[in-house]
Amino acid sequence: MRQKVKSRLTSVIHRPSVFFGLSSKEFGKLDNMVDTDVAVQSPSNLVPRDAILTYRQITTLGVTRGQLRGSQYMRVMKGLYARADHPLKGTFGLQALAAVAAVEVPVVIWGTSALRLFGVELPTRLDSDRRVHLLTRRGSGRSKRPELAVHYLRDTVRVATVNWRGMTLAAPIEAWLQAALDADHDELVQMGDGLVRYKNPLTDISAIREYLKSRGSDLPTRQAAAALRDMRQGTDSITETKMRQWINAAGLPEPEVNRTIVDQQGQFLARVDLYFERYQTVAEYDGQCHATDSNRIRDNNRRRLLQRHGIEVVVATRSDLSDPTRFLESLAAALKRQAAKTPLLEPGPSLPKPATPNWLGHWPNQ
């Protein structure tokens, strides 16, 4: 199969970061280029694997309407197409790429959308919003696409950004600060812990503190500063943060996060989610990743090892996420038992009366 292809087109399509953001007007200028005959085996060979193209762009490359309906291609958004083997297929990143191509003006992916692309777990309420949040200058254009939420920035305001796959994202701390506009205190702490997580942290608490100092004292900055005081470095998941928030709201002592426990000879025993060293008690969450037989056996062996060394283990499960009352009561009882074993420890803590648990109002539907 042979077809006419623009001579300079190959230099463009091998730079997807330029190509997917090409406006229809700019793409039309390619009509003035000199035509060159190119031997092609299939139209898909002319479509970059990581490109997002408008209907006009992809059909100009020789892809027919029938082929667009076939298995080689997929529609990402109305009027925007990609190869079916796109490397971001099935991810929010593909939707974000399409959003940038759809708007056709300079934009920054911001707020929770940027955090999502950075791999930060979002609270349930915010995670349910699957729109791509975009930031652009006032007067830059509007979009009625339901998949997009376009926000407008004053010309005098500067936003710290980073580049990812040809897109411009608000930098991690900036994106978290922007999320303060729509998040409550607990949600902001949960996302903040995601920035300073144990694996592949995006920043650290001291860097966030310095960044906030440079921002002045507007409302989002004050909200972020308040959340920063409750953030802890080195958490593994948003559920661990929620557990710590339950514990604090119930008036129990605050545990250390992701603590490594060793025996009296300094030999490694375990790394645990939450550790009350003073009370020799561990709190952990059994999520979906612990459901396999091999993981369950490993967890049980590890917990028996800790118990042989005098450490109690209290486990929260998925059912506790909507109502942590039973978990907190079990944890409080364990702390009391451990305190009673060692006279040097202060008396074990007590929970609020069960009739008025003050932690339940903090996490509705989370």
Residue 74: per-residue pLDDT: 95
Mean confidence (pLDDT) of the chain: 82
Q: What percent of the chain has pLDDT over 90?
A: 62
Residue 199: per-residue pLDDT: 92
- Clarify whether residues 80 and 141 are in a common domain: no
Residue 314: per-residue pLDDT: 96
Boundary of a domain, candidates 39, 68, 89: 89
- Clarify whether residues 73 and 102 are in a common domain: no
- Clarify whether residues 85 and 97 are in a common domain: no
Residue 165: per-residue pLDDT: 83
Integer CA distances (angstroms), 79 to 21, 74, 251, in order: 14, 11, 54
Residue 46: per-residue pLDDT: 80
Instruction: Over range 137-163, report the average pLDDT.
Output: 79
Q: Is the pLDDT of residue 8 over 50?
A: no
Residue 141: per-residue pLDDT: 60
- Clarify whether residues 82 and 97 are in a common domain: no
- Clarify whether residues 325 and 255 are in a common domain: yes
Boundary of a domain, candidates 230, 255, 283: 230
pTM of the predicted model as reported, rounded to 2 decimal places = 0.79
SS3 for 152? strand
Tell me the pLDDT band of 197, cut-offs 50, 70 and 90.
very high
Which has the minimum average pLDDT: 28-37, 112-121, 134-143, 152-161?
A: 28-37
Which has the minimum average pLDDT: 68-77, 84-93, 95-104, 137-146?
A: 137-146
Instruction: Over range 215-232, report the average pLDDT.
Output: 92
- Clarify whether residues 126 and 143 are in a common domain: yes
- Clarify whether residues 201 and 304 are in a common domain: no
**Domains held by the chain: number:** 3
- Which domain does 103 fall in, by range? 93-230
Boundary of a domain, candidates 89, 113, 147: 89
Residue 166: per-residue pLDDT: 85
> Is the separation of the CB atoms in 108 and 168 below 8 Å?
yes
- Clarify whether residues 252 and 356 are in a common domain: yes
Instruction: Over range 228-242, report the average pLDDT.
Output: 95
Q: What percent of the chain has pLDDT over 70?
A: 77
Distance in angstroms (rounded) separating the CA atoms of residues 340 and 349: 11
Look at 324 and 14; give whichever has higher pLDDT: 324
The full 3-state SS of 185-233, as one line of letters, equals HHHHHHHHHHHCCCCCCCCCHHHHHHHHHCCCCCHHHHHHHHHHHHCCC
- Clarify whether residues 161 and 269 are in a common domain: no
Write the pLDDT tens digit of every residue in 270-324: 999 999 999 999 999 987 655 566 778 888 899 999 999 999 999 999 999 889 9
Structure-token pair, residue 185: 């205190």
Instruction: Over range 329-353, report the average pLDDT.
Output: 75
Q: Is the pLDDT of residue 50 over 70?
A: yes
Structure-token pair, residue 126: 């915010």
- Clarify whether residues 106 and 225 are in a common domain: yes
Distance in angstroms (rounded) separating the CA atoms of residues 119 and 195: 9
- Clarify whether residues 129 and 213 are in a common domain: yes
Residue 351: per-residue pLDDT: 53
- Clarify whether residues 137 and 215 are in a common domain: yes
Which has the minimum average pLDDT: 43-52, 158-167, 231-240, 345-354?
A: 345-354
CATH number at residue 247: 3.40.960.10
- The label of the residue with tokens 């607990």 reads 186
